Structure 1
Amino acid sequence: MSERAKGILIALVLLIVGATGYWWWHDQMELRWTSVEHESAEATADPMLAATRLLRQNGRTVTGAGSLGELLVPQTAGGTMILSGASGTATPDQARELLEWVRRGNTLIAEPRWLGSDEQGLIAFSKEELAEHAAQEETGEESEEESEEEATAGEDASTTDEAPAAEEKAGDDEAAEAEADDHSDPLTDHLGARTRPDALACKCRTAPDEKDKNKPEAIAKARLAREQALSHLTLPGKPYALEIDAGTTEMVSLVNGAEPLWSDADGGAVRVYAEGKGRIVLVANSFFTNASLPQRDHAQLLLALTELTPGKQVTIVKRLNVLPWYQALWRHYQLALVSLAVCLALLFWSAVRRFGPLLPAPRAERRSLLEHIDASGAWLWKADGGRQVLLDAARDDTLALIRRRVPALFRMPEGELYAALARTCALLETDVSEALEQDAASHVTRFTRQIRTLQTLRNHYER
């Protein structure tokens, strides 16, 4: 190798080593600031903490309630109430109290419930939406005409299935009615507003493939996604529009629904309705939580909505869980006191319904078990057939023990069995035969010999 080639090779190696050392030093030794997302314990416990601090910094008086059940609506100060995450969970009594509170000249900010599957045909479409649906139907007419011939050919085959289909449809209608009853929203039903997923926004927000991101279709789709992600709201008396994150949820109106006083550009994010002297503000998403409040113009929207009423008082209901048992007891103490009084009256009645002097307590003396056994044996000895009962019990117990320990003996003839037992236990064969075969003896001596023979057999085979 020439000297020139060696010099080039050495220079190349030194360049690689130097570049590697520079990269290692820059990656391992240089200090750089990096942002780390962190959520404090207070923010985790209170999803409306940012909104609370923003309102207080702007001169509002903010009070919080853990749940709607804890809030005494008739005693709540006038102003603005924010129901965080209220989506059709208020009970009829709570909804009645809230609507009465709003009619006195206050503002309520809530979320309508989701659109039920049985309400799909009740949506009130705008003129633009109707024109779009008509265009879609025209493009689909040709394919429908082609499918009509195939459907006509199969009508004869499906005639027999009409009755089951009608029953199934009736069952579906009943299920839809039950679903509608289970998903009632007494707070906003009279407004006719529902929320549903924004299918167009969800479709436009689907990220394209890396290889297709520079194509005109992908660029147009990304531009449409950015347009769908924003909703513009012009407040009354303001010369400019607020930008609101439309998200993937939109509000829709049902047939015969109430008309809002004002809303955003397409009415899908924010709507303001008149309710007596007050206002009901419906929002499609939780714009005022800790994560959403810093986005877009949500903070300015919150301040503007709290200015709809003259009062500076703002009540924030953090969540809509049920009332704890101890708070429910304290809230309904009258019912608890009445129940306690009834229980005390029943206890008093059960205590005073007995008359006359108290009987003395019986003596606690107890006889021994042997005395009970001796008394039972003496009674059976005198009773008719009692002796046979005693002998049969002892005989059955002895034979069961021998059969369990030495089952081979019971394969012998009866005479050989008695001889084998007598030989094994050192007894007379006549005594064994008398104890296992004959009736109970009437004489005390013979009966005792029968029982003693059985006990000898039992003791031998129990070892």
Structure 2
Amino acid sequence: MNDNLKSILSVLALVALGALGTWCWYDLMELRWESRYYRSEAAMKDRMLAATLLLRRNGQVVNGVGSLGELVLPKVAGGTMILSGASGTALPGQAQEILDWVRRGNTLIAEPRSLSTAEEAALAALEPASEEEDEEEAEDEAKPASAPASASAQDKDGSKANEDDEDEDEDDEDEDEEPTPPTRAVRSPFTAVAEGDPLTDRFGARGRRDAKACKCRTRPADEDKDKPEAIAAARRERDKTVSHLVLPGKTHALELDGSSRELVSLPKAVAPLWSDDDGGAVRVYREGKGQVVLLATDYFDNYSLDERDHAELLLALAELAPGRHVTIVRNLNVLPWYKALWRNYSLFLVSLAVGVALMFWAAVRRFGPIVPAPKAERRSLIEHIDASGAWLWKADGGRQLLLEAARDDTLALIRRRAPALFRMPENQLWATLARDCALPEADVSEALQQDAASHVTRFTRQIRTLQELRNHYER
């Protein structure tokens, strides 16, 4: 090998080594931004946080309420109300209050409850042909004429076999189930009141799962998902579930995610003022001076607001009402037990608390430590006298016995000290005793002549008068 060839190979080796080093540097050593899904604590606590921030940034005054049960409508300002996740949970009284609030010129955004089993069966009976059958017919018509005869024969054989299987299944079901008149199957579900939705019954709208949209969402295999054909097919399938909505006064259409739910109409449903292209995503109804907006699903929570044109739809619906206030009800119609108890029985609870406070005050009128009970051997004679007097006061004739004992003792003392007084008549004797002792004559007469008084004050006055007579003549 000559020197020129060695030099060329050395240069090529150095170039390859430099290229490999450069590639390793930029691939392994370069810092790159990597997106990661993150949910803040505030977003986990408030599912309508993104909608709240968007509305406030747009100049709206947003007030949040935890549940429909906490909503006090007389205090709600005029504007827009969003019932998020509260479909079909409003009580009749609450629904009437909300609709009265809407009739004053406000906007309500809510979701109707889902179809019941009876309503879904009745709607299926009213439809002439299902959507799946229409799709199968369209696919059969779209088959090219140049298809091989063997393939068409196989399709015919397969379709015949499927039809035979379906016929056998239908026959088995017909044998198990009893035939019912079609009129009963259609009318009976809509006469039930227990399954109603007071907010949306007047419009005849319900929500249900969109089988066509769910069918379109087929996931490719993992090894084919990154291929351009698979990406284009997935984009076409997603486009099938898009609903287009042209707002009044606008020219461009908003794209809304069809998701897996759609709005359906019950018999004798009210026609909306305006809606999306097929009426399956958004419907707007007139209610008095205001409007009621029904959505197939919650487009405005933290998970759906950033998809397609949901944020623009929220801002447009918030502009329907003249007021700039937006009230967001975040959760279902559930109140904590203590809030429900206070809301419904506040007067009773206040009365109960006042009564308990008065009973507590009566029980603790005397403060300080409790005096220990004295020992039995240290009890004095005065305690026995007090106990005897208390018993005689309650016993029959006991008061008279006490008064006569004090009266006899007082008269005996006066007779010993001033015997000349007892030669006088009784009336003159009472007057003399009252004058000498500076006491009212009526009190002296009552103490020395009348029976024992039944009232405590009068009885005490009789005993006190006798004691003062005794004290006067003991000097």
Q: TM-score, normalised by structure 1?
A: 0.59
Amino acid corresponding to residue 275 of structure 2 in structure 1: S
C-alpha separation between the residues in 2 aligned to 1:130 and 1:44? 41
Which residue of the other structure, out of 315, 320, 323, is the alignment partner of 1:303?
315
Shift of 1:65: 0.8
Provide closer, same or farther for how the CA distance between residues 134 and 45 of structure 1 changes in structure 2, counting only shifts above 3 A.
closer
Q: What letter corresponds to residue 292 of structure 2 in structure 1?
A: I
Shift of 1:90: 1.8
Does 2:204 align with 1:192? Answer: yes
Question: Structure 1 residue 51: deviation in Å?
Answer: 1.6
Counterpart residue number, 1:283: 295
Q: CA deviation at 1:166?
A: 4.0
Question: Partners in 1 of 2:169 and 2:35 — Cα distance?
Answer: 62
TM-aligned CA distance change 1:276 to 1:306, over 3 Å: same
Counterparts of 1:328 and 1:191 in 2: how far apart (Å)?
Answer: 30
Q: Which amino acid aligns with 1:75?
A: K
Which of 317, 320, 334 is 1:322 aligned to?
A: 334
Q: Which residue of 2 aligns with 1:263?
A: 275
Specify whether residues 130 and 146 from structure 1 end up closer, same or farther in structure 2 by C-alpha distance, changes over 3 A only: closer
- Map of 1:418-437 to 2, 5 A cutoff? none
Which residue among 342, 347, 350 is the counterpart of 1:334?
347
Cα distance, 1:136 vs. partner? 5.6
Aligned residue in 2 for 1:83: 83
The structure-2 alpha-carbon separation of the partners of 1:34 and 1:66, relative to structure 1 and needing over 3 Å to count, comes to same
State the SS of the aligned residue for 2:120. Answer: helix
Residues 135/325 of structure 1: CA separation in 2 closer, same or farther (3 Å cut)? closer
The yes-or-no answer on 1:313 pairing with 2:330 is no
Is 1:240 the equivalent of 2:252? yes
3-state SS, counterpart of residue 86 of structure 1: coil
Residue 305 to residue 136, structure 1, CA distance change in 2 (3 Å) = same
Establish whether residue 227 from structure 1 lines up as the match of residue 264 from structure 2: no
Q: Say yes or no: does 1:28 pair with 2:40.
A: no
Secondary structure of the residue aligned to 2:31 is coil
**Which 5+ residue runs of structure 2 have no aligned equivalent?**
141-155, 361-372, 374-475
Larger mean CA deviation between 138-147 and 109-118 belongs to 138-147
Task: Spell out, residue by residue over 1:92-133, the C-alpha distance to the aligned partner (whole angstroms, 9 max, x if none).
Answer: 222222122112221100111122222223338999987985
The answer as to 2:99 corresponding to 1:99 is: yes
1: distance between equivalents of 2:101 and 2:41?
Answer: 33
What is the one-letter code of the residue matched to 2:349? A
Call closer, same or farther: CA 1:166–1:125 in 2, change over 3 Å.
closer
User: How many residue pairs align between the two structures?
Assistant: 339
Deviation at 1:239, TM superposition (A): 2.0
**Percent of aligned pairs with the same residue?**
53
Alignment partners' CA distance in 2, 1:144 and 1:285: 36
* Amino acid in structure 2 at the alignment position of 1:39: R
Alignment of 1:109-188 (within 5 A): 109-123=109-123, 165-166=177-178, 183-188=195-200
Question: Cα–Cα, structure 1 residues 137 and 2, in superposed 2: closer, same or farther, change >3 Å?
Answer: closer
Distance 1:26 1:325, change over 3 A: same
- Give the direction of change, closer, same or farther, for the CA distance of 1:274–1:122 in structure 2 (3 Å limit): farther
Find the counterpart in structure 2 of residue 294 from structure 1: 306
The one of 216, 226, 230 aligned to 1:204:
216
Instruction: Determine helix, strand or coil for the equivalent of 2:114.
Output: coil
> Which residue does 1:40 correspond to in 2?
40
Give the RMSD, CA atoms, in angstroms.
4.7
1:177-231 Cα deviation digits (max 9, x unpaired) = 79x7765322212222122222222222212336777999978854541322321
1:288/1:298 contact within 8 Å kept: yes
Change beyond 3 A, Cα 1:215–1:50: closer
Does the 8 Å contact 2:122/2:189 carry over to 1?
no
Q: Give the aligned residue type for 1:107.
A: T
Per-residue CA deviations over 1:262-291 (Å, capped at 9, x if unaligned) read: 001111111101122211101112211223
Q: What amino acid does structure 2 have at the position aligned with 1:204? A: C
Structure (1 or 2) with the larger CA radius of gyration? 2
Q: What do the CA deviations read for 1:282-329 (whole angstroms, capped 9, x no partner)? A: 111221122322222222211211222211111111112521233223
Aligned match of 2:415: none
Separation of aligned partners in 1, 2:323 and 2:261: 31
Q: Distance in 2 between matches of 1:11 and 1:103?
A: 86
- Name the CA distance, whole Å, in 1 between partners of 2:226 and 2:343: 63
- 1:337–1:166: structure 2 CA closer, same or farther, 3 Å change rule? farther
Letter in 2 for 1:70: E
Deviations 1:383-424 (A, max 9, x none): xxxxxxxxxxxxxxxxxxxxxxxxxxxxxxxxxxxxxxxxxx
CA contact (8 A) 1:261 1:274 kept: yes
Partner Cα separation in structure 2 for residue 215 and residue 318 of structure 1? 41
Amino acid at match of 1:232: H
1:50 Cα deviation after fit: 2.0
By how many angstroms is 1:58 displaced? 2.2
SS, match of residue 263 in structure 2: strand
In the TM superposition, what whole-angstrom CA distance separates every residue of 1:362-388 from its partner, at most 9, and x where no partner exists? xxxxxxxxxxxxxxxxxxxxxxxxxxx
CA distance in 1 between partners of 2:30 and 2:226 (Å) = 36
Cα distance in 1, alignment partners of residues 244 and 197 from structure 2: 27
Contact kept, 8 Å, 1:124 with 1:254, in 2: the verdict is: no
Letter matched to residue 209 of structure 1: A
Structure 1 residues 339 and 30: CA distance shift in structure 2, 3 A? same
Gaps in structure 1 of 5+ consecutive residues: 349-360, 362-463
TM-score by length of 2: 0.58
What is the CA–CA distance in structure 2 between the aligned matches of 1:248 and 1:281, rounded to whole Å?
19
Letter in 2 for 1:237: G
Give the conservation status (yes or no) of the 8 Å contact 1:43–1:290.
Answer: yes
The answer as to whether partners of 1:124 and 1:253 remain within 8 angstroms in 2 is no
CA contact (8 A) 1:85 1:286 kept: yes
